[in-house]
Amino acid sequence: MSTRSRAAAIIGAVVIATMSITGVFASSHREAPLISGDPSADNTDLYAFVSPDDPNSLTIIANYVPLQEPAGGPNYFPFDPTVRYEIHIDNNGDAKTDIRYDFRFKTKAKTANFAGIPTFLYNDGPITSVTDANWLAKQTYSAYRNGVIIASSVRTPPANIGPRSTPDYATTAAGAVKTLANGTKLFAGQRDDPFFVDLGSIFDLAGLRPFNGLHAIPLPAAAGVDGVGGFNTNAIAIRVPLQLLTKDGKAPTDANDPDAVLGIWAASSRQKIRMFNADGTVSTSGPWQQVSRLGNPLINEVIIPRNKKDAWNAQPPYADAQFAKYYLAPEITAVANVLYDALDTPATANRADLVAVLLTGIDIPMSETVPTGLQFTFTGATKADLLRVNTGIKPNSAGACVFGVTGGGTPSRLGAIDGDLCGFPNGRRLLDDVTDIELRALVEGYGPTLNAVLGVPNRTPNNLLGDGVDDNDMPFLSAFPYAPTPHAGYEHTHHKAGPNPMP
């Protein structure tokens, strides 16, 4: 390709990227124009997995309020009492809600004196429990299942402020786990953001630091940098016994159980009328309107064009057939073909594989190549963005079920494309590197396991691509709510110390 042709192609790719895929690979952080201005309602990530320490239950984690700077006091980042936070479950394959959990929050702030002086601070002494009187802006919530209240006045943990204010944060936050009589566990509060991705490089013309030399505008190769590292988020986590979620009211023990597959999505809604009052309060009224939703990661960023992103957020999953053409001809794949001409050129049209993986689910019948207990059977012809999980596939205590490995093996961050059938797109675990997984799927680098089982392409070097960020910056917990302890504001890792400008 001539220099002039290459320049024209790069310009064209930039135009496509700017117009169509702004926000790419930020999971669902600020992915659409309207929701980027409403962070309290922004659903950033969704996880759903059979609980490794209780395989007869399903854990769902829905995150909201993106990119929280831990030092952002004194108000920090509470849940919004005017938002209805929602988790939806489809248990019969029609992409419509069969079970819905709603969470509504209340803030109770009190006037306090710090040594006799009214304080602007979040607390007026150390907070050592979720009921501590030193915490001046407590939040509680009520949880509903299909409109019926199942828990009320459940306490959230405080923000993780620092060693003086929250001296034993992990213990304090553990006090916010609520166990209901039917075995359901609830948690809502601040967590480290478990999503990991090199935002800085990817936003810079779709760069991948380890593959900088293959880019149309080359740079020296470098290690990936976690652009979400050091930030917190707000998590709503539930762990529910499987018999409370399945269509037949039983806990599946077999991957072939027709009721084993659940479709999950999270959302947030606001009432349509909002009034700003002269006393500084806000009043809301009118019918509820969905303003954000999330099933599979990266869909609104990578697949949906910019001018459709806010409309996509407002639609129910069962209406997603209208967006199928964007899966069949993903524009980001065309961009990758231009910016990385060293790739084995992936198809940019008729991508039925992406429709199957991300829009309808994959159906793998029982066979000698997929042993009982390791297969994943996703069903449903309805085109819908759902995070589908086969609850009949049981992970080992580490959360893995690696194809062909006795005892399940060790979890792979690459999930199903690396043979770990307990990983994405069979649900999504916290450790799943969905950026690398979806990147490789988009450029037809599916890996040998799915190539053998499904016949999908395994192009090279496409099957090696990645952003160089392979795990989270904080360790995951071994027990519910599993999401990592949030960063403390006092530690504040995002600033850079420099020379004193004063003489």
- pLDDT above 70 covers a percentage of the chain that reads 87
Residue 79 within any structural domain of the chain:
yes
Q: List, for residues 275-287, the tens digit of each pLDDT value.
A: 888 988 888 899 9
Residue 354 within any structural domain of the chain:
yes
Q: Give the pLDDT band (50/70/90) at residue 370.
A: very low
Q: Which residue has the higher pLDDT, 282 or 496?
A: 282
Q: Where are the alpha helices (DSSP H) in 252-397?
A: 309-314, 324-328, 331-339, 352-355
Per-residue pLDDT, averaged over 333-355, amounts to 93
Tell me the CA distances in angstroms from 467 to 178, 226, 372, 491, one per residue in order.
37, 9, 34, 27
**CA 421/CA 424 separation, integer angstroms:** 8
Which token pair is 202? 């990817």
* Measured distance between the N- and C-terminal CA atoms of the chain, rounded to whole angstroms: 54
Residue 493 within any structural domain of the chain:
no
Q: Residue 225: its pLDDT value, please? A: 95
Radius of gyration of the chain (CA): 23
| Other residues' Cβ atoms within 10 Å of the Cβ of residue 55 | 18
Q: List, for residues 133-183, the tens digit of each pLDDT value.
A: 999 999 999 999 999 999 999 999 999 999 999 999 999 999 999 999 999
**CA 254/CA 268 separation, integer angstroms:** 33
Phi-psi region of 127 (alpha: psi -120 to 50; beta: other; left: phi over 0): beta
**CA 47/CA 387 separation, integer angstroms:** 8
Q: Residue 116: its pLDDT value, please? A: 67
- Of the listed ranges 149-153, 237-241, 397-401, the least confidently predicted one is 397-401
Nearest one of 464, 421, 424 to 440, comparing CA atoms:
464
Q: List, for residues 256-274, the tens digit of each pLDDT value.
A: 788 899 999 999 999 999 8
Residue 61 within any structural domain of the chain:
yes
Pair 228, 193: CB distance under 8 Å: yes
**CA 162/CA 70 separation, integer angstroms:** 10
Chain Cα centroid distance, residue 5: 39
Q: Residue 356: its pLDDT value, please? A: 87
Residue 445 within any structural domain of the chain:
yes
* Residue span of the structural domain in which 133 resides: 3-464
Q: List, for residues 89-116, the tens digit of each pLDDT value.
A: 999 989 999 999 999 999 998 766 666 6
Domain count of the fold of the chain: 1
- pLDDT above 90 covers a percentage of the chain that reads 69
| Average pLDDT score, the chain | 88
Residue 470 within any structural domain of the chain:
no
Residue 469 within any structural domain of the chain:
no
**CA 19/CA 463 separation, integer angstroms:** 27
Helix 434-442, helix 331-339: angle, nearest 10: 80
Nearest one of 383, 365, 325 to 454, comparing CA atoms:
365
Which token pair is 390? 């086969």
| Other residues' Cβ atoms within 10 Å of the Cβ of residue 203 | 16
Pair 233, 190: CB distance under 8 Å: yes
Residue 497 within any structural domain of the chain:
no
